Chains A and B, each alone.
Chain A
Amino acid sequence: MSGIDAIDRKIVTATQCGLPVVRQPFARIATEIGCSEADVIARLAVMAARGVVRRVAAAPNHYALGMVANGMSVWDVDDTQVSALGAEIGALPYVTHCYRRPRALPAWPYNLFAMVHGATRAEVETKRAEIAVRLGSACRASDILYSTRILKKTGLRLARSGG
């Protein structure tokens, strides 16, 4: 992997399944990989500044938090307007991820993806209708794909060596 050195890589592989939930989690990682706590913290800070680490945080399980309706709303938006409109849709408080992606014609005409979560599907549909209003005539077609099961959720897994 080009963007990180061997010690960074050790930090990544030691933490990619999660940090220990203890008072000094970075000291625990340092002991595991054979460097100092200060090194682990400094290297994570550099990786964060470079965007390699997005944040050190907790990820919630929507379902356990009652957000049982999870819809991937997809939109066929005019190519000349999609960037400006995408930024507007992505800024909505109930849109958690928003991306422009390629169409896969003819089966898939949609180029804007916006994830919408809610306690019920009715709530998600209301939000979807609000997005439709914002997109207006720039949007030619849309659909929404509700998730019915998490089949896997692990995040990136680096091998311990190589890359």
Chain B
Amino acid sequence: MRARSASAERVTLDAVDRIIVNRLQDGIPLVPLPFDAVAKEIGRNPEDVIARTARLIEAGVLTRFGPFFDAAAMGGAFCLCAMAVPRDQFEAVADLVNGFDEVAHNYEREHALNMWFVLATERPEGIAMAADEIARATGCDVLMFPKLEEYFIGFKVAA
């Protein structure tokens, strides 16, 4: 996967696009015609909502549309991890880390601990195994920060 710049180009959205971006973050109903249900709610026709949604995904405004699965509820696990990667090795290490299927997200951050990634595995013991393999492959210590308590999950960004 190509790294995306944090200063990625901003896409121009009209008022209807914004309504759709906001509405789709709340989730679609599990019915045969979910876009029809959303369209009715916001007073548009389904074809328009579908075309705009496809365009928003194409333009990168929406990174993903579909079910969000909880690995822990399926018997698996998530774990936030961090590494202090030497500057001159950063790109090579990022490629190595991103190459692991267990790495669901990976962010560069401004800190001595400059690489932060989330491991998602089908079994809890997979977390430690993946972390060990990443440490071995990169030569960097992997600090593990599993969540102990979660205080809020209603993630939403207003468009």
Q: What is the chain B residue whose CB lies nearest that of A87? A: B151
Q: What are the residues of chain B within 8 A of A68 when measuring CB–CB?
A: 6-7
Does A147 contact B65, Cβ atoms closer than 8 Å? Answer: no
Tell me if B152 and A149 are in contact (CB < 8 A): no
Q: Which residues from chain B contact A19 at a C-beta distance below 8 Å? A: 65-67
**A interface residue count range (under 10 / 10 to 19 / 20 to 34 / 35 or more):** 35 or more
Query: Judging by beta carbons under 8 Å apart, are B74 and A145 in contact?
Result: no
Once the chains are docked, how many angstroms separate the CA of A51 from the CA of B67? 11
Could you say which residues of chain A place their CB within 8 Å of the CB of B107? 147, 149-151
Known: A21-B57, A60-B21. A86 touches B151 (CB 8 A): yes
Bound together, the chains give a CA A59 to CA B61 distance in angstroms of: 9
Q: For the complex, is B43 an interface residue (Cβ under 8 Å from A)?
A: no
B7: chain A residues within 8 A (beta carbon): 63, 68
A53 within 8 A of B: yes
What's the least CB distance linking B130 to chain A, in Å? Answer: 12
Q: Which residues, 143 to 159 on B, are CB-close (under 8 Å) to A?
A: 143-153, 155-159
CB-based contact A59/B109 at 8 Å: no
Considering the chains assembled together, what is the distance between the CA atoms of A15 and B68 in angstroms? 9
Instruction: Give the residues in chain A near B32, CB-CB below 8 Å.
Output: 24, 26-27, 37, 41
- Are A97 and B152 in contact (CB-based, < 8 A)? yes
Task: Tell me how far the C-beta of A13 lies from the nearest C-beta in chain B, rounded to whole angstroms.
Answer: 10
Q: How many residues of B contact A (CB 8 A)?
A: 85
Residue A57 interfacial (CB < 8 Å): yes
Once bound together, how far apart are the Cα atoms of A66 and B109, in whole Å? 18
What's the minimum C-beta distance from A74 to chain B, rounded to whole angstroms?
9
Beta-carbon nearest neighbor of A146 in chain B: B110
Query: Once bound together, how far apart are the Cα atoms of A66 and B12, in whole Å?
Result: 10
B62-82 interface mask toward A, CB cutoff 8 Å, 1 = contact, 0 = none?
A: 111111111101111000101
Given contacts A57-B26, A60-B25, contact A152 B98 (CB under 8 A): yes
A-B contact pairs, 11 of them (CB 8 A): A18-B64, A19-B66, A56-B27, A60-B61, A64-B10, A83-B149, A152-B3, A156-B71, A157-B101, A158-B122, A163-B123
Residues of A within 8 A of B (CB): 1-4, 12, 15-19, 21-27, 37, 41, 44-45, 47-48, 50-68, 70, 72, 83, 86-87, 89-91, 95-102, 104, 107-108, 113, 117, 143, 145-159, 162-163
* Known interface pairs A65-B159, A156-B76; 19 further A-B residue pairs with C-beta atoms within 8 A, sorted by A's residue number: A3-B73, A4-B74, A12-B74, A21-B53, A21-B65, A22-B50, A55-B27, A58-B24, A58-B65, A61-B4, A61-B62, A68-B7, A91-B152, A97-B152, A97-B155, A149-B107, A150-B107, A151-B106, A152-B97
- B residues sitting closer than 8 Å to A (CB atoms) are 1, 3-11, 13, 21, 24-28, 30-36, 46, 50, 53-54, 56-57, 59-71, 73-76, 80, 82, 94, 97-98, 101, 103-111, 113, 115-117, 120, 122-123, 143-153, 155-159
Q: Which 6 residue pairs spanning A and B have beta carbons closest together?
A: A90-B151, A90-B152, A2-B75, A58-B24, A55-B27, A151-B106
